[in-house]
Structure 1
Amino acid sequence: MNAMHNLPTQPAIRVNLAELIEMRHRVREVQLFSTPARRSPLIGLHHSRLRGRGVDFDQVRVYQAGDDVRSIDWRVTARTQEPHTKLFHEERERPTYLLVEQSPRLFFSSGLCFKSVLAARAASLIGWAALAHNDRIGGLVFGGEEPHEIKPRRSKQSLLQLLNRLARANQALSSEAGPEQDRFALALRRAREVLNPGSLVVVLCDERTLGNGNEQQLQLLARHTDLLLLPISDPLDHALPAAGLLRFAQQGTQLELDTHDGELRQAYRAQGEARQAHWQRLAQKLAVPLLPLSTQRDIVEQLRDHLNAQHPGKQR
């Protein structure tokens, strides 16, 4: 791994590998996955496979002395007139695949940190939590010229490789955006190609990334994997302040907005609300968890609040 990615960076504007590694110490602050002693509220968000380690049914065989009587299969016993017992085996570890956007549209913030930094921190936190949960970790960093993929493996080295790619992509970002390309759709298509049924796909992307083509890809992906959607936004994505004349420039193009224009601010707010509603409709349609993240607040506080909202009686 390149040593330059361990050097200090501008806080909240860029991240380095050392900061993403340090995120492992914050895993205990939020219960993302279940343990034998504690069930995570995330369990209740999706009934199929977002669950803790357990056992799967394997087969039925003739009852033997010493077998647990609670495992007797009474239907087979009644049919054969001979005691039979159910056998179980431990669940296989689940592949967790982090789809993380690091594109110029995320290189912005009016809050605590840039959206690109928030996405990287969230991916790191979830990655460390999944590794502690004995899941296989892999992922794809997209948004730049070339995507960077690490195939899921149950090893710390695999996660470190992914975080290194993530830090490098983050540090390469600038406000000079290139031609718009639908790299999100390509990333989703790649996930469909490489992942086995039952994998957990964690999607961390700009709230504005979602489009009709991407929505179709997410629907196809949701047919055989579990999805966890974490769209990233900034307060300025949803509302403009009445700050007078604002000037924007990018690649020689300039734009002026008179934010004292109430109709303009209302139309801008409506666009932001429409994007949020689009994500909500999609999550409801696919029956998957939606955990929006904002640059306005700390990542752990937001995740904890999302999970507590699903179980209001659960203590922090």
Structure 2
Amino acid sequence: MSLGLAPLPGVRVSLNELVALRHHIREFQLFSTASRRSPLVGLHHSRLRGRGVDFDQVRAYLPGDDVRSIDWRVTARTQEPHTKLYHEERERPVFILVEQSRRTFFGSGERLKSVLAAELASLIGWAALAHNDRVGGLVFSDREWHEIRPRRRKQSLLQFLNRLSHANQLLSSEHWSPGQEPFTIALRRSREVLRPGSLLFIICDERALGDQSEAQLSLLARHNDLVLMPLSDPLDHHLPQTGRLRFAQSGRELRLDTDLPSLQSGYDQIAEKRQQRWRNLAQRLAVPLLPLDTRQTGLQQLVQHLQPLSGR
């Protein structure tokens, strides 16, 4: 069970708070339904365009299309033949990879990145369960990871959220140097347990992406659909001009003059390269990229990301 620590708003998150997020899943549309098309088109339905169970769209008739699927109303209105397309739904496990490492124990906005990650994982989990999907995930920190196999049961999702809240409450500013990048280890483990055709949500610190983790993501994308959700804080992208600053940790000290234009410019360039690397990866793998930051709740940002898409 989760630790009995009192959660601090924006700093810690409790199991009860993660469970309560189930009441907000109607505020955004993550998956396709019989009556509504998913804003993230193609994530939850077969890419096959055949006769299936749910109507998908109408497009101009092409040679070879089944004449029985011609939409006569649209054809009459446009004076051009149009055909109805259907999608064939396939069962698809939903797997949520969520980071709770020491680097996510940071935030200058409304919440820490670790809290934002937990909120997002919970919202996605409840939305998937409401869509009657099998849901599972992997929670990883600097020291360990906990895996929950995808199942279509509320108890399974609660077990995942319990692991998530427990890992969140264990986070501290204590110095820890893992032997290997935890994100890479978690991705490698995901490759071992996921069945082909799974839908994988990647919720991690923006700074987690490196050569090894990028290679693992490329391998995962060969047989699964990915949604990349890197988390950042405004201070990850730009240093405030506050004069001289002193940082100390584990006997080491760093002094910076944040008023130096060269320091500001160099910091901004590093941040831009980091963001561009995510954009390049998403483009190369042809997967959705939903960057999020600590200035708003996970719910607010999901709504903002998905509503413009659904309105097209």
Q: What TM-score do you get using the length of structure 1 for normalisation?
A: 0.83
Match of 1:34 in 2: 32
Change over 3 Å in CA distance of 1:191–1:50 after alignment to 2: farther
Where in structure 2 are the equivalents of 1:106-117 lying within 5 Å?
A: 106-117=104-115
3-state SS of paired residue (1:288): coil
Match of 1:23 in 2: 21
The one-letter code matched in structure 2 to 1:213 is Q
CA offsets 1:23-74 (integer angstroms, 9 cap, x no match): 11111111111222221211167986699xx659xxxxxxxxxxxx959xxx
3-state SS of paired residue (1:43): coil
- Counterparts of 2:188 and 2:222 in 1: how far apart (Å)? 13
Deviation for aligned residue 1:177: 2.9
Contact 1:242-1:260 within 8 A present in 2 as well: yes
Q: Which runs of 5+ in 1 are unaligned?
A: 57-68, 72-89
3-state SS of paired residue (2:40): helix
Match of 1:86 in 2: none
- Counterparts of 1:22 and 1:8 in 2: how far apart (Å)? 16
The one-letter code matched in structure 1 to 2:146 is H
Aligned partner of 1:148 among 139, 146, 149: 146
1:305 aligns with 2:304: yes
- Counterparts of 2:34 and 2:113 in 1: how far apart (Å)? 34
The one-letter code matched in structure 2 to 1:31 is Q
Deviation for aligned residue 1:219: 0.2
Contact 2:45-2:89 within 8 A present in 1 as well: no
The one-letter code matched in structure 2 to 1:170 is N
3-state SS of paired residue (2:109): coil
Change over 3 Å in CA distance of 1:284–1:45 after alignment to 2: farther
Match of 2:156 in 1: 158
The one-letter code matched in structure 2 to 1:295 is T
Contact 1:131-1:137 within 8 A present in 2 as well: yes
Which deviates further from its counterpart, 281-290 or 36-45? 36-45
Match of 1:238 in 2: 237
Contact 1:44-1:310 within 8 A present in 2 as well: no
Match of 1:222 in 2: 221
Change over 3 Å in CA distance of 1:154–1:44 after alignment to 2: closer
3-state SS of paired residue (2:41): helix
- Counterparts of 2:31 and 2:89 in 1: how far apart (Å)? 15
Deviation for aligned residue 1:308: 3.2
1:169 aligns with 2:164: no
Contact 1:98-1:204 within 8 A present in 2 as well: yes
How many residues of Structure 1 are paired with residues of Structure 2 in the alignment? 281
Contact 1:46-1:287 within 8 A present in 2 as well: no
- Counterparts of 1:190 and 1:44 in 2: how far apart (Å)? 25
CA offsets 1:219-273 (integer angstroms, 9 cap, x no match): 0000000001000000000000101112222222221111111110110011111
Contact 1:101-1:205 within 8 A present in 2 as well: yes
Change over 3 Å in CA distance of 1:138–1:45 after alignment to 2: closer
The one-letter code matched in structure 2 to 1:256 is R
Aligned partner of 2:41 among 13, 23, 43: 43
The one-letter code matched in structure 1 to 2:30 is L
The one-letter code matched in structure 2 to 1:258 is D
3-state SS of paired residue (1:15): coil
Contact 1:93-1:134 within 8 A present in 2 as well: no
The one-letter code matched in structure 2 to 1:111 is G
- Counterparts of 1:252 and 1:20 in 2: how far apart (Å)? 37
The one-letter code matched in structure 2 to 1:41 is P
Where in structure 2 are the equivalents of 1:67-216 lying within 5 Å?
A: 91-180=89-178, 181-216=180-215
Contact 1:249-1:255 within 8 A present in 2 as well: yes
Change over 3 Å in CA distance of 1:45–1:199 after alignment to 2: closer
Change over 3 Å in CA distance of 1:139–1:103 after alignment to 2: same
3-state SS of paired residue (1:255): strand
Q: What TM-score do you get using the length of structure 2 for normalisation?
A: 0.84
Contact 1:107-1:116 within 8 A present in 2 as well: yes
Match of 1:64 in 2: none
Match of 1:287 in 2: 286
3-state SS of paired residue (2:220): helix
3-state SS of paired residue (2:10): coil
3-state SS of paired residue (1:24): helix
Contact 1:283-1:290 within 8 A present in 2 as well: yes
The one-letter code matched in structure 1 to 2:102 is P
Match of 1:251 in 2: 250
